[in-house]
Amino acid sequence: MQLSEKDQSFVYHFGEMGSKWGFNRTVGQIYALLVISEDALSANDLASALSISRGNVSMGMKELQSWQLVQVSHIPGDRKEYYSAIGSVWDMANRVFQERRKREVDPTLTVLRNLLLEEPKSDSEEYAQQKMQDIHDLLEMLTDWAAELQSLSPQQLGTLMKLGAGVSKVLSVKEQLFNKNKDNS
């Protein structure tokens, strides 16, 4: 398989970027190629298009499957497996966020919670502990909120984001609402 120049730019760039988003260059390239390919591709297609070994493709697909980013399908009369990217671009972003949270943030929260169980024994430990608490609280808030956002429909999310500068305006509205409710209760 031969890539067009445009596809190559895209695929190579996402290889570089992919490595910053939690998987390595090759895995990034495989995924990029699957995303822009209308038809599902076989492992051999991927290996030849990207000039990498068959074994490397196999390992890459395993990784992408663990991120739940790809789908396997079959063509009748053909024994090969065919791969394609799963879902919309939104779905993809959600998956990546979720997976990164699970792999990076959750273990940190666990470590922090354990450290925070012990009482500080000196002023400097007190200071350190306070910082750990701050980081814990921040991470917890961010993950809770991210989960919240993921429960919204893409439609709602779109509305929320397009709101842009309006967020603070809406916040003040919320404030009024909240107070009104308080009076009522």
Partner DNA sequence: TTAAACTTTCAGAAATTACTGAAAGTTTGT
Partner DNA sequence: ACAAACTTTCAGTAATTTCTGAAAGTTTAA
Binding window for DNA (CB under 7 A); candidates: 48-56, 91-99, 132-140, 148-156: 48-56
Q: How far is the CB of 77 from DNA (least distance, A)?
A: 8
Alpha-helical (H) ranges within 67-122 are 89-100, 106-117
Helix (H) or strand (E) holding 83: strand 82-85
- Three-state helix/strand/coil letters over 22-36: CCCHHHHHHHHHHHH
* C-alpha to C-alpha distance for 85 and 38, rounded to whole angstroms: 9
Binding site residues, a second copy, CB under 8 A:
4, 6-7, 9-10, 13-14, 17, 20-22, 35-38, 88-90, 93, 100, 103-104, 107-108, 111-112, 114-115, 118, 123-125, 127-128, 131-132, 134-135, 138, 141-142, 144-145, 148-149, 151-152, 156, 158-168, 170-171, 173-175, 177
Q: How far is the CB of 51 from a second copy (least distance, A)?
A: 19
Q: Which of 9, 17, 53, 169 binds DNA (CB under 7 A)?
A: 53
Q: How far is the CB of 20 from DNA (least distance, A)?
A: 10
Q: At what angle do helices 5-20 and 25-36 cross, to 10 degrees?
A: 130
Counting contacts by CB under 7 A, is residue 42 touching DNA? yes
Q: How far is the CB of 175 from a second copy (least distance, A)?
A: 8
Residues in 71-130 at the binding interface with DNA, rule: CB under 7 A:
78-81
* Token couple for 96: 């990546």
* C-alpha to C-alpha distance for 139 and 141, rounded to whole angstroms: 5
CB–CB of 29/14 below 8 Å?
Answer: yes
Q: Which of 7, 8, 25, 112 binds DNA (CB under 7 A)?
A: 25
Counting contacts by CB under 7 A, is residue 55 touching DNA? yes
* C-alpha to C-alpha distance for 79 and 73, rounded to whole angstroms: 10
* C-alpha to C-alpha distance for 58 and 68, rounded to whole angstroms: 15
Residue 80 or 113 with smaller CB distance to a second copy: 113
- What are the residues binding DNA (CB under 7 A)? 19, 24-27, 42-44, 51-56, 58-62, 78-81
